[in-house]
Amino acid sequence: MSMALEDALAVITKQRSRRVVISTMGSVAVWPELSDSPLDFHYIPSSMGQGPALGLGLALAQPNHGAIVLCGDGSLLMNLGCLVTIAQHPAPLWIVLLDNGQYEITGGQPVAGAGRTDFAALAKAAGISRVYSFEMLLDWQNAAARIFEGDGPVFVWLRIIGRPGIKTPSPPKPMMEQIVQLREALAVDD
Amino acid sequence: MVHGGAIIDVLQRLGVTHVVWIPDSEVGQWDAALAVAESLRLIRATREGEAIAIAGGLCLGGCRPLVVIQCTGLFEAGDALRNMVHDLKLPLVFLIGVRSARMAKAGQSSDTCPVFTEPILDAWQLPYVWLPDPFGPADLETALERYYKARHAGAVLIPE
């Protein structure tokens, strides 16, 4: 069983509190429909696979806020080493893996190891102690409050229904406008 | 080679909050000093592109990171550099060891690292400056300060 991306992300809107939410790739098409916060950062244009690393840096710089990174499986596979780095540097960081088993934007081609890779085992083996895995929306909804309490890093693996062939999303605001807005919200001097 | 304690002093004067790195055999000698430095935090990354993205997040969040990598990692990390420096326009500063640069200068190396480092940096439109060989703490401070002071991305190259 899998869950719709919109439903999976709606759970996070209720739990994100003051955390920065970094959306990447396909989630950029949905997150702005659910949230309009200066602490939203739509990471497009991006370097694919670098969302978790960007989030780690932000979480280390802003421990009173912390960060949630919405990351696809294709993206995470491009930078699996980030799990080891994240485990080694404790920070208020939540990696939410949105696993649909495919590269949606390029037409729905399967990612390497689609349906076989155990991302929870990878995260645990990397040294992240708080790891969660959900296939059913209801289970994710029921556990979310507990998951977003306590210390990071946290890794959440969600099985998502793919939407092959969606267009490359555009962020609702240009990147430089987003950066100014985020820094103001974080009270960071330019 | 400048010892680690002197490096810490330089970075402290420059206000560097984090060193994000993958060491090579030369700058790796600073590891012990960096690991216990009170004025900054050492972040060990697994891949150079990842190091650049971590530094990007730190910079977005108000910190002043320094990315320390070897030129081989620079070659690997082009997309992250392109994105953080040019798309996000973050003033990231790099300290890059150039493998075999000394031997190449003497005409005694077949290593292609020195051949490609400057053209790659030119291609990514990242300004750079070479440190003298050997270099001292003041040389390093002057080279790094120009980028931090100008809030401009740039690289300082170490001939190795």
* pLDDT of amino acid A186: 98
The interface residues of chain B toward chain A in range 65-84, judged by CB-CB distance below 8 A, are 65, 79-80, 82-84
* Domain locations in chain B as residue ranges: 4-159
Q: Calculate the CA dihedral of residues B39, B40, B41, B42 and round it to 10 degrees.
A: -120
Prediction ipTM score: 0.97
Instruction: Return the residue matching tokens 């993205």.
Output: B53
Segment B84-90 mean pLDDT? 98
Segment B114-141 mean pLDDT? 98
pLDDT confidence band for A189 (50 / 70 / 90): confident
**What is the CATH number for A166?**
3.40.50.970
Statement: residue A160 has pLDDT above 90: yes
Nearest-by-Cβ selection for A58 from B57, B84, B88: B57
What residues in A contact B87, CB-CB < 8 Å? 45-46, 175
pLDDT confidence band for B1 (50 / 70 / 90): confident
Sorted by sequence, the CB contacts under 8 Å of residue B13 that are 6+ apart come out as B141
What residues in A contact B79, CB-CB < 8 Å? 47-48
Residue range B4-159 in CATH 3.40.50.970? yes
B57 to A60: CB separation less than 8 angstroms, yes or no? yes
What residues in A contact B91, CB-CB < 8 Å? none
Task: Please give the single-letter amino acid code of residue A16.
Answer: R
A88 to B44: CB separation less than 8 angstroms, yes or no? yes
Where does A21-160 have alpha helices with state H?
A: 31-34, 51-61, 73-77, 81-88, 119-126, 137-147
Interface residue of B54, B58, B79 to substitute, partner A, most A CBs within 10 Å: B54
- Using a pLDDT cut of 90, give the percent of chain A over it: 95
What residues in A contact B42, CB-CB < 8 Å? none
- Per the domain annotation, does A190 fall within a domain? no
What range defines the domain where residue A103 resides?
5-185
Check CB contact of A59 with chain B, cutoff 8 Å. yes
- Per the domain annotation, does A67 fall within a domain? yes
Sorted by sequence, the CB contacts under 8 Å of residue A7 that are 6+ apart come out as A137
* pLDDT of amino acid A175: 97
- Using a pLDDT cut of 90, give the percent of chain B over it: 99
Q: What is the DSSP letter of B87?
A: I
B60 to A54: CB separation less than 8 angstroms, yes or no? yes
A57 to B55: CB separation less than 8 angstroms, yes or no? yes
Structural domains in chain A (count): 1
Segment B23-29 mean pLDDT? 95
Q: Which residue of B lies nearest to A175 if distances are taken between CA atoms?
A: B88
| pLDDT tens-place string over residues A124-156 | 999 999 999 999 999 999 999 999 999 999 999
| pLDDT tens-place string over residues A64-109 | 999 999 999 999 999 999 999 999 999 999 999 999 999 998 999 9
